[in-house]
């Protein structure tokens, strides 16, 4: 018998409802609709430990699952919300060996990075982010760093921000990711990368630039439906005049003489604004006002719902999260704790789809890929190229609104096929060959399966933490040109050869694709 091609088996998989399950995941409904169908739940276990790891980390591994079960959900969550308490020293040392410049100051970067290295320098920030997502033990922290970087987005690479984007990541996003949104918003407004990216550094009383004032409202705080007028948007830009850069050091400074004076009014923030030398405090007070605005609370809570629960927010729970945010002075940790321990989160199993970046990282983690030794970064460069090809390299979204976080935005045929190709590359260890990887045989239990059917069950339990339906298992057996009852011998080179495609097809399925 001639084995079918991969195209033929994928057609068979679609007929069985196997490969097409990604679309079902995107069709999931709000948790509030208790009687509605949730097709994504057909593919992932309802186990709450796995559910939490799928949403609050870049994907479960057997080790992380065992650790969570030992600690318990509440204790594990408290630990993840206090990342400094998690021993991550070994990975942090590896990261520093590969990217020592992450701690350089902005003046150091300007002085030490030659003209021809500006773009590679920015690309390495993306590579460092991939490494953190894959191997850091501070998983929820890394997820939240991605979330806030996407919310207060600055495109990278971008020639305007090359000298400061790494510092923005460190001193704005990573410093405040689990602190208060108020502090993070103020830090972002004063950072050279944001001042340059949205043109506020060149905004003055005589020639105000509206970019930052508009995006501050539309994207960063109350949202596009925040109810502000065109006049209020313009006043937002006027309030922030004077927040600029030192032309020599390219660090933040407040320019008194660039600040506009005159009455300003935005969403309940009303000031006579008569003194230029009080303009910096005016801007900070305005940012605090926006951070604490109830509409901002709802806007952020809605985005957190979409990130962690489903693509269709339940307004009652969004309002509940928003009140937690307001009651805690914009602190982020209480909101996350409330979200993850809620009934809304508990019943949301199967209602999110992994985006391409999350799929790559989850696959690396599942297959046990380890960092390259020493200062080598060849493999990370390959991964950075890979997620760029998939359309979701860290920081690379071209517009200031950040990557979409819903499943439908990522469900093109091209995107799905690219994911499948990556899975086969990872399983075969030729897509990221620079990283050490345990042999595929290590995915099987010590007591070896006796048949191909048993082998697929064992692989599925290891990769997706459950067995897959018989009709779906038959699809893979058809591709392998084997019957479920056929003897499996891992010493047989032909049997080992078939493990790679088997692993890839399991990862191609919605059993892996549903977050």
Give the model confidence (pLDDT) of 37-69 as tens digits.
355 778 998 999 999 999 999 999 999 999 999
CA pair distance 126, 417, nearest whole angstrom: 23
Q: How far is CA 83 from the centre of its chain?
A: 17
**Closest by CA position to 151, among listed 387, 397, 389, 324:** 397
Contact 165, 149 (CB under 8 A): no
How confident is the model over 135-183, as pLDDT tens digits?
999 999 999 999 999 999 999 999 899 999 999 999 999 999 999 999 9
Mean pLDDT along residues 296-313: 97
DSSP state of 372: P
What does the block give as tokens for 159?
A: 């020639």
DSSP run (H or E) holding 9: helix 6-15
Structure tokens at 427: 């399983």
19 has a pLDDT exceeding 60 = no
Q: What is the pLDDT of residues 478-514, one digit of tens each?
A: 999 999 999 988 677 667 788 899 999 999 999 999 9
Pairwise CA distance, residues 53 & 311, whole Å: 18
Question: Who has greater pLDDT, 499 or 318?
Answer: 318
pLDDT-derived band at 8 (thresholds 50, 70, 90) equals: low
pLDDT at 291 over 60: yes
Determine the average pLDDT of the residues in 4-10.
Answer: 55
List pLDDT tens digits, range 128-144: 999 999 999 999 999 99
What pLDDT shows up at residue 298? 98
128/126 Cα distance (integer angstroms): 5
In sequence order, the 6+-apart residues with CB closer than 8 A to the CB of 63 are none
- The pLDDT tens digits for 70-107 are 999 999 999 999 999 999 999 999 999 999 999 999 99
DSSP 258: G
Strand, coil or helix: 499: helix
22 has pLDDT over 50: no
pLDDT of residue 4: 53
Report yes or no: 305 and 317 within 8 Å, Cβ to Cβ: yes
Q: What is the largest CA-CA distance in the chain?
A: 86
C-alpha to C-alpha distance for 290 and 185, rounded to whole angstroms: 9
- Cα 425 from Cα 481, distance rounded (Å): 21
Q: Which residues of 430-445 are buried (b: 16+ CB within 10 A; e: fewer)?
A: ebbeebebeebeebbe
**Averaged pLDDT, 382-390:** 95
* Bridge partners, residue 245, by sequence: 252
Band (pLDDT 50/70/90 cuts) for residue 429 is confident
pLDDT at position 433 is 83
């Amino acid at each position: 018998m001639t084995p079918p091609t991969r195209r033929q088996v994928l057609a068979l998989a679609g007929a069985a409802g196997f490969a097409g399950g990604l679309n079902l995941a995107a069709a999931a409904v709000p948790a509030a609709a208790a009687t509605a169908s949730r097709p994504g739940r057909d593919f992932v276990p309802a186990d709450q430990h796995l559910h939490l790891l799928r949403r609050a980390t870049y994907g479960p591994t057997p080790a992380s699952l065992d650790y969570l079960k030992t600690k318990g959900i509440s204790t594990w969550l408290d630990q993840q919300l206090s990342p400094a308490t998690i021993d991550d020293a070994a990975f942090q040392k590896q990261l520093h060996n590969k990217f020592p410049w992450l701690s350089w100051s902005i003046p150091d970067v300007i002085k030490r990075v030659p003209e021809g290295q500006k773009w590679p320098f920015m690309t390495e920030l993306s590579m460092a982010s991939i490494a953190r997502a894959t191997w850091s033990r501070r998983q929820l922290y890394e997820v939240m760093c991605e979330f806030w970087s996407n919310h207060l987005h600055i495109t990278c690479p971008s020639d305007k921000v090359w000298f400061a984007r790494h510092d923005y990541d460190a001193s704005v996003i990573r410093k405040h990711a689990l602190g208060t949104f108020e502090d993070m918003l103020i830090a972002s407004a004063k950072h050279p990368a944001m001042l340059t990216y949205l043109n506020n550094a060149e905004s003055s009383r005589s020639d105000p630039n509206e970019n930052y004032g508009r995006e501050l409202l539309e994207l960063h705080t109350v949202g596009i439906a925040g109810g502000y007028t065109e006049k209020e948007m313009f006043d937002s830009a006027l309030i922030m005049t004077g927040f600029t850069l030192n032309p020599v050091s390219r660090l933040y400074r407040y320019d008194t003489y660039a600040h506009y004076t005159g009455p300003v009014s935005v969403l309940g923030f009303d000031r006579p604004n008569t003194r230029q030398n009080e303009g910096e405090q005016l801007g900070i007070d305005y940012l605090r006002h926006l951070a604490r605005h109830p509409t901002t609370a709802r806007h952020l809570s809605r985005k957190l719902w979409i990130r962690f629960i489903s693509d269709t927010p339940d307004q009652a729970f969004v309002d509940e999260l928003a009140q937690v945010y307001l009651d805690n002075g914009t602190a982020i940790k209480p909101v996350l704790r409330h979200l993850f321990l809620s009934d809304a989160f508990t019943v949301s199993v199967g209602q999110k789809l992994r985006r391409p970046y999350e799929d790559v990282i989850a696959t690396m983690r599942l297959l046990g890929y380890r960092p390259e030794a020493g200062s080598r970064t060849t493999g990370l460069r390959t991964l950075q190229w890979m997620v760029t090809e998939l359309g979701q390299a860290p920081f690379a979204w071209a517009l200031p609104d950040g990557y979409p976080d819903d499943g439908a935005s990522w469900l093109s045929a091209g995107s799905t096929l690219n994911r499948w190709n990556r899975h086969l590359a990872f399983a075969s260890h030729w897509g990221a060959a620079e990283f050490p990887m345990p042999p595929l045989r290590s995915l099987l239990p010590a007591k070896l399966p006796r048949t191909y059917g048993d082998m697929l069950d064992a692989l599925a339990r290891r990769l997706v933490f459950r067995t897959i339906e018989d009709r779906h298992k038959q699809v893979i057996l058809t591709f392998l040109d084997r019957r479920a009852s056929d003897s499996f011998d891992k010493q047989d080179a032909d049997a080992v050869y078939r493990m790679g495609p088997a692993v890839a097809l399991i990862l191609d399925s919605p059993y892996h694709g549903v977050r």
